[in-house]
Amino acid sequence: MIFFTNQFLLIISMIILYNINHHQHQTQAACISNNKSKCSMKYAQEIDLYASRIANVGKRGRFFPKNQIELEQFCSETKNMTNLMENYMKQCCERELGHVAKIYIYSIRKNTKLLCSKRSNKRTSMMTKLFTVAPCINQKIRDFQCLAKFKNQTKQMVHYGDDKEKIRRSCCHYNDWIECEEKFINDLTCINDEQHREFAIDLLRSSRGDTHRFLCGEFDETSDKCDHQKKLNSSLFDPKMNMDSRLQSLVFIGLHLLESIGHNSSIN
């Protein structure tokens, strides 16, 4: 049974080979190199903040635009931050992680284009819906707990020594996030019709890109594969595999999870 896409399995194999051959120590953060002056922690923290703002949820996220002026500012900021993130990842991520980063950047641009491109046929109807739901979502967006829960779960899996189970479990945690997200929107009493609720859910999802669909393949929210998970083996957790706490965005946490593949294979 195929759980992951063939492209993803190829990239994972490349990451494992690279990590085994080039990294004998436990890394602290993905896409940071002492050998590249431009790829410093300070630079990474700047990009990390941009990644959090693009996600639009949580304490470091942005409010959704409520009118035309705010939308133009929102689109301009998103474009600038996306370009800066892309430049960083091109300079600082190893080729294998860079492939995943490219998918994330591409999907963010594709999703943003629907709202921001004046040539989009759907823009007018989407703006009408956006300006209707944004004031309601913004009231609670700083208290959005689904992202924080998923990030903590992903950080935990960085420590796990079974690489296949590490990815599988992270995909299942992502599906839990989707359910949490839907509940968050459905609990907002100020969005009181189904059409706007569906739009609001899509709006939240569009902010994080489509990377998970590439990574998880069939192992997504439409599958029942996550209903039959085995208990994690406590002896396979490696406490030495930590991530620098100065990086808080899901982008860096996800990249670090991928970079950890192959590092702790010796404890399998």
pLDDT tens for 27-86 read 456 787 656 668 889 999 999 999 999 988 888 999 999 999 999 999 999 999 999 999
Residues 22-39 have pLDDT tens digits of 444 444 567 876 566 688
Non-local CB neighbours of 229 within 8 Å, separated by 6+ positions: 168, 169, 172
pLDDT of residue 210: 66
Percentage, residues of the chain above pLDDT 90 = 34
Non-local CB neighbours of 26 within 8 Å, separated by 6+ positions: 238, 240, 241, 242, 263, 264
End-to-end CA distance of the chain: 22
| pLDDT exceeds 70 at position 143 | yes
| pLDDT exceeds 50 at position 218 | yes
**pLDDT (average), residues 193-214:** 84
Rg (CA), the chain: 19
The verdict on pTM exceeding 0.85 is no
| pLDDT exceeds 60 at position 264 | no
Say if CB 220 and CB 226 are below 8 A apart.
no
Residue 231's alpha-carbon distances to 100, 149, 170, 235, 247, in angstroms, are 28, 19, 14, 12, 29
Half-sphere exposure of 152 (CA within 13 A, CB side): 6
| pLDDT exceeds 90 at position 197 | yes
Look at residues 234, 207, 213, 195 and name the one whose alpha carbon lies nearest to residue 103: 213
Mean pLDDT of the chain: 81
**pLDDT (average), residues 139-147:** 89
Say if CB 133 and CB 199 are below 8 A apart.
yes
Task: State the CB neighbour count (10 A cutoff) for residue 176.
Answer: 15
Burial code of 122-141, b = ≥16 C-beta within 10 A, e = fewer?
ebeebbebbbbbbebbeeeb
Beta bridge partners of 160: 237
